[in-house]
Amino acid sequence: MKTSLKSKTGFLALLCFLTFVTISAQQGKLPIAEGPYKLTDESLMQYKYPDWFRDAKFGIWAHWGPQAVPRQGDWYARRMYQEKDPAYKYHIEHYGHPSVFGYKDIIPLWKAEKWDPDKLMALYKKTGAKYFVSMGTHHDNFFLWNSKIHKWNAVNMGPKKDVVGTWQEAAKKQGLKFGVSEHLGASYTWFQASHGSDKEGPKAGVPYDGADPQFSDLYHDGTTPDDKGWLTNNLIFQIEWFRSIRELIDNYHPDLLYSDCSMPFENVGRSLIAHYYNQDIARNNGNIEVVYTCKQASGGKWVQDVERGVLDSLSNYPWQTDTSIGDWYYRTGQKYKTSNEVIQMLVDIVSKNGNLLLNVVQTPEGDLEPDMLHILDEIGIWTAANGEGIYGTRPWKIFGEEPEGLQQVKRGQFDENYKLSFKDIRFTTKDGNLYAFCLGIPTEDIIIKSLGKNSSFVENQVSSVKMMGVDVKVKWSQENDRLVIKKPSRIPSWQVLGFKIEFKK
């Protein structure tokens, strides 16, 4: 095959650009916006957490894209190339062998024909969300924004819409802050399964379509044998990541940017964060209003994210849990969290200075199932009644009380299997008032030892106790060693009870 002069010239120009940028990256000189943030941890520790994030407490996430099409749950774009995985068997049965019909052929099947972003955003606001996060790109390297980096994006393929831009417009209409998640950093090693082949059977040794060089802009080039970590050690890939996510930032200026990893790629990652912060300061007259979040303790440099888990103590720095009501992508027959489980998590997280980012599972077509709508409706009823003790609050002196005799367990990522009851109490505070949440329906009087007259946490005596959201007179007494709230005569329709506690001046 002959190569045109134009093609050769374009390739050489790209090669020269990559060489220049690689050398620049090695020297810590990637192109970033001018401003106070530099490529050092000390510089990033100047970061000031914006009030909107600290006040918001609850966000909803659309972890949605072409991987939803087969209805087989998370990581389909990789699992379909793993010979022993059920997704591989499903793919063979429904689409054919991945040497012929690969992930590139799944992408055009994602049409999102029932997607109504304005309707969904109004629903999410009613549910109680104060910010919304769109998927930007998952590990599948498919971009949901209008990108010039490569052709594999939602404007060119699938729904043929700027999904990120459309979500952003819908969020603005509802007065919600808008964020984007990027999972690209892990893509370079994660997607290497597409370069393989069957180990046995009639197609043994036949390369999957990811090994075809003409699709390397989707599946990436092959990695070296030592490049097996979650994040690639290949500087060329790292620069490609920087270019892609910088384009996302510069085109949409999201209020929040989420990376599905620890801070990526050392100074390459610091460059991206510094650029994100600096470009926002330039847009906001010297103030910083954006949030960067990744899965690493922050030390004040960003918001730490905890996937499918919670911190076990009150954090000095604002942080975030990200989790899903069900699987990350739509899966037939999946079990969803109940509204009570979501509300318990929300209160527990907020009491420890955190926010909850909740993925709402959309069908491949873009709508929500009836049981999902029911769960969101119940959450919305609770937030409308109890939001005074959630939104705009700050942590109290302690996050709460736990049942006596409970074995202390260190909690963190991927640990949602813990049970909460009415003996679990969580605190928040706002405008001099204390809010105490009982995380289950009480079967007896509610005892709060931290609020006894002689408690070191209490400066003034309690003057009133009111249950939020219902017109029920609460009987209570403050003893030397405890506050006793009598079992309410009527329990509202929800299970997590919120009490507003005022003190004598």
| Residues forming beta bridges with residue 80, ordered by sequence position | none
Residue found under tokens 């506690």: 501
Burial letters for 42-78: b for 16+ Cβ neighbours within 10 Å, e otherwise? ebbeebebbeebbebbbbbbbbbbbbbbbbbbbbbbb
Per-residue pLDDT at 167 exceeds 80? yes
Is there a single domain that holds both residue 418 and residue 275? no
Q: Is residue 52 over pLDDT 60? A: yes
Asked, for residue 390, whether it belongs to a domain, the answer is no
Residue 478 domain-assigned (yes or no): yes
Residue ending a domain, choose from 261, 294, 327? 294
CA distance 500 to 158: 50
**Is position 429 within any domain?**
yes
Residues 267 and 404 placed together within one structural domain of the fold: no
Residue 181: beta bridge partners? 135, 258
Q: What are phi and psi of 106, to 5 degrees?
A: -75, -40
Is 137 strand, coil or helix?
strand
Using the predicted structure, report yes or no on whether residue 362 has a pLDDT greater than 90: yes
Domain boundary among 251, 279, 294: 294
- Do 274 and 152 share a structural domain? yes
Q: What is the pLDDT of residues 295-327, one digit of tens each?
A: 999 999 999 999 999 999 999 999 999 999 999
What's the CATH number where 190 sits?
Answer: 3.20.20.80
pLDDT 10s digits, 266-282? 999 999 999 999 999 99
- Nearest CA to 493 among 325, 340, 335, 344? 340
| Predicted confidence (pLDDT) at residue 437 exceeds the cutoff of 90 | yes
Q: Is residue 457 part of a domain?
A: yes
- pTM (predicted TM-score): 0.93
pLDDT at 24 (0 to 100): 53
Q: What is the CA radius of gyration of the chain?
A: 25
Show which of 294, 316, 339 is a domain's final residue: 294
pLDDT tens-digit profile of 390-417?
999 999 999 999 998 766 666 777 678 7
Are both 243 and 108 inside the same structural domain?
yes
Let me know if residue 6 belongs to a domain. Answer: no
Is residue 394 in some structural domain?
no
3 domain-assigned: no
- 419 shares a domain with 275: no
Identify the residue whose tokens are 């190339």: 81
pLDDT band, very low/low/confident/very high, at 29 (cuts 50, 70, 90): confident
The Cα 106–Cα 241 span in angstroms is 23
pLDDT interval class at 8 (50, 70, 90): very low
What is the average pLDDT value for the chain, to the nearest integer? Answer: 93
Q: Are 200 and 78 part of one and the same domain?
A: yes
Q: Which position has the higher pLDDT, 245 or 420?
A: 245
What pLDDT was estimated at residue 365?
98
**Interatomic CA distance for residues 96 and 118, integer angstroms:** 37
Residue 427's domain spans which residues?
400-503
pLDDT for res 22 = 52
What per-residue confidence (pLDDT) applies to 505? 86
Distance separating alpha carbons of residues 44 and 294, to the nearest angstrom: 14
Q: How far lies 342's CA from each of 78, 338, 494, in Å?
A: 29, 7, 12
pLDDT of 166 above 80: yes
DSSP character string of 375-426: HHHHHHHHHHHHGGGTTT-B--SS-EE--TTPPP----TT-------TT-EE
Tokens representing 412 are 């963190």
Looking at residue 187, what is its pLDDT?
98
As to burial, measured by CB atoms within 10 angstroms (0-12 exposed, 13-18 middle, 19+ buried), residue 202 is exposed
Residue 486 is part of a domain; what is its CATH number? Answer: 2.60.40.1180
State which H helix or E strand residue 437 sits in. Answer: strand 433-438
pLDDT in tens, 337-348: 999 999 999 999
**What does the pLDDT look like over 219-261, one tens digit per residue?**
999 999 999 999 999 999 999 999 999 999 999 999 999 999 9
Q: Is pLDDT at 98 greater than 90 in this prediction?
A: yes
Residue 159 and residue 40 share a domain = yes
Is the pLDDT confidence value at 503 over 50? yes
The tally of domains found in the chain comes to: 2
Asked whether residue 47 is assigned to any structural domain, the reply reads yes
